[in-house]
Structure 1
């Protein structure tokens, strides 16, 4: 077999693999994952709103959201469904990392590497949700987890610098998320043709408002990690709940927390919109 034939067979094999990854099963996994993400953000936003207005006894993070869901009718079934959806999200990101992302230059490393990182992240989130559903933990406080991880990393050689670098990366990611939301770059990945003006307005209100709030939360969490590294104090790192509560300790008080929380609710709704309209 000469090199040309071998190369042709290899390209054919990659093409078949790509088509399989982009098939109906992968599309279903992606849409289920986006919907599952929407549930978590919606619940976290609602819990944060309750905190802002002086109510609620749960933490505004993934653990609190899972506990809230488990108290609902058929809560166990909902938790397993949520975990399965997040597994679908991880598999979708894995297929993007392996075969390329939808859109221009989707086969390039600059698009595939972030997809790989998202795969790892959502695999961890899916594991934590499924562990909670199975009754073996997974819904612990994000604040305690953040402090514990920060403390362990700081014990490593150059750990302080690693924490600081991670914090800066999270700040940058938050800024990018917020700027992309304000620029409405999400439109490039959505099927918007034929939508009514009212539906387009819903897309932009949830996309801009939700994405901006999400970016602000990311940037704030990263800033706390940087502060922990500079002070060499792991306890200064904050998880999602403490990060959200910190907005209530600003001069704007609980109103800023309420505004950010409402934005997270919008991002939850936007995730549902993406589950319906995103190109996969």
Structure 2
């Protein structure tokens, strides 16, 4: 069974159709992040009407001309990225072994989950089945988990895991390990420098945002207050309440926007 899965992965690895789909997925992922960045910047400037998050970006795009087409494009693009990541996880990373191999496979599974969540949000929004904001859902789920035996510890553990993932994202940006997916033909010149800058700034910004989300879960567990949890919108609003908050949030918005542009560069120079 494993051999068959690996053989399927090898065939898919040479599929021009899948490669085109992956590039398309990165483009729409970039659009979502640029919209997310715009909402975060609006929040920094005093407009608190929008939800500065991935789901908030989907809602914002839904209200634009051709919004339904854009949302279906997001759903399809994210589904293709899910397929890509799962194929990577199944067929492995040739040349890697031991802890490095399993770390990369775990990252594939985590990212597949992120893409799948965004695809689900897009589909739910376009068919009118959305059941509220991502922040409300997060608090509701956290409250139910806390009612379980050991639930408080579990919520705290989730927070620690999220902080660890945030650290991994920031470290990926600082060390520029994302360059491993930059194709050999594009490693020189202006494109390479722009790719490095956008990736570094983008990954650090995403890591910083996620770290605040994780901290909210830890604090919520320590105080047994589910209302203090939330997603990226809650995290960014917490940042806004700090000294120099609008400036910090503005810088975070720029970083998230940089990641959106990085997704476009990745679509152009992707090396699978």
TM over 0.5: yes
- Cα deviation for residue 28 of structure 1 reads 2.6
The Cα of 1:65 is off from its aligned counterpart by 1.1
Aligned in 2, Cα 1:10/1:84: closer, same or farther, shift over 3 Å?
closer
Q: Using the alignment, how far apart are the partners of 1:192 and 1:109 within structure 2?
A: 25
Assess if the C-alpha contact under 8 Å between 1:61 and 1:141 holds in 2. no
2:249 aligned residue: 257
Q: Tell me the alpha carbon deviations over residues 135-172 of structure 1, each in whole angstroms, 9 at most, x when there is no partner.
A: 2216x322211111111111122111111111001111
- Identify which of 242, 265, 268 aligns with 1:276: 268
Query: Which has the larger displacement, 15-24 or 158-167?
Result: 15-24
Match of 2:12 in 1: 21
2:156 maps to 1:156: no
**Deviating 4+ runs (over 4 angstroms):** none
Query: What residue in structure 1 maps to residue 84 of structure 2?
Result: 92
For 2:198 and 2:58, the matched residues in 1 are separated by: 23
Cα distance change of structure 1 residues 100 and 195 upon mapping to structure 2, 3 Å threshold:
closer
Equivalent in the alignment of 2:125? 132
Matched-pair contact (CA < 8 Å) for 2:9–2:88: no
Q: Which residue of 1 aligns with 2:197?
A: 205
Distance in 2 (CA, whole Å) between partners of 1:38 and 1:192 is: 22
* Counterpart position of 1:112: 105
Q: Does the 8 Å contact 1:174/1:218 carry over to 2?
A: yes
RMSD between superposed Cα atoms in Å:
2.2
In the alignment of these two chains, the number of paired residues is 270
| Structure 2 Cα separation of the partners of residues 57 and 108 of structure 1 | 43
How far did 1:129 drift? Answer: 0.9
Pair 123,63 (structure 1): closer, same or farther in 2 beyond 3 Å: closer
TM-score norm. by structure 1 comes to 0.89
User: Within the alignment, does 1:121 sit opposite 2:120 as a pair?
Assistant: no
Mapping of residues 99-248 of structure 1, within 5 Å: 99-101=91-93, 104-105=96-97, 108-137=101-130, 140-194=132-186, 197-248=189-240
Matched-pair contact (CA < 8 Å) for 1:207–1:267: yes
Name the CA shift for 1:148/1:194 in 2 (closer, same or farther; >3 Å): closer
